[in-house]
A and B are shown apart, each in its own frame.
Chain A
Amino acid sequence: DAKTTQPPSMDCAEGRAANLPCNHSTISGNEYVYWYRQIHSQGPQYIIHGLKNNETNEMASLIITEDRKSSTLILPHATLRDTAVYYCIVLMYNNNDMRFGAGTRLTVKP
């Protein structure tokens, strides 16, 4: 599976959009991009995933570049409860063997 690179930490003001980048330059054509987050020591929570089209759900939007070498997770109106570690994972089709990296620690500040 392709490796991912994320900034170790980011800050965001409450109410603003949080844009979390992820580089996955070695991604192959049948690999999906998944985002999870982990709040404190709770179990990780699925956010969104995509293959090549941009995706949106009630939690977030996922923007994948045309060459698929990077993506951005967007939390449109960050709240204090969005403070968490966000993981970007690239996963082969037909494979649920997820490898979590260090992720990005997002701190939403009032």
Chain B
Amino acid sequence: DSGVTQTPKHLITATGQRVTLRCSPRSGDLSVYWYQQSLDQGLQFLIQYYNGEERAKGNILERFSAQQFPDLHSELNLSSLELGDSALYFCASSVDGGASGRGEQFFGPGTRLTVL
């Protein structure tokens, strides 16, 4: 158990819909990262938040957005869903935002999103 929790575990929805995935980081971790893993694309970094502010952006679509709240939990919002958005979405956390080469990230169990 990494200490990172994600809800829900599974989500099935239809094209065009909007969903919200939730992540609670390990106690004391200030950074939250979101990744998407689909069969044909591998593990893709989406976005990082550090202490409530966006720190780094990867291959995140404009239909997707995220935020980190004052209690440090984070939500990833996916809208106008397409079949190709079906994937595993992982959240990870780390103690800092990248200083000191401490890239050790702790990953949650993931949310499996199926778009029908």
Contacts and interface: CB of A to CB of B under 8 A. Distances in A.
Interface string A77-110: 0000000000101010111111111100000000
Interface string B41-58: 011110010000001101
B41 to A, nearest CB: 10
A73 to B, nearest CB: 15
> Which of A34, A44, A89 has its CB near the most chain B CB atoms (within 10 A)?
A44
Contacts of B105: 44, 46, 96, 98
A2 interface: no
A38 B42 CA distance: 11
Contacts of A97: 45, 48, 56, 58, 98
Q: Chain B: interface residue count, which band?
A: 20 to 34
A45 interface: yes
Contacts of B94: 96
The secondary structure that dominates the A interface is: loop
Contacts of B99: 94
A41 B107 contact: no
Given A32-B103, A100-B42, A43 B109 contact: yes
A75 interface: no
B42 A102 contact: yes
Contacts of B48: 96-97
A74 interface: no
Contacts of B56: 95-97
A49 interface: yes
B103 A98 contact: yes
Contact of A45 (B44, B55, B96, B107): B107
Interface of B: 2, 4, 31, 33, 35, 42-45, 48, 55-56, 58, 88, 90, 92, 94, 96-101, 103-110, 112
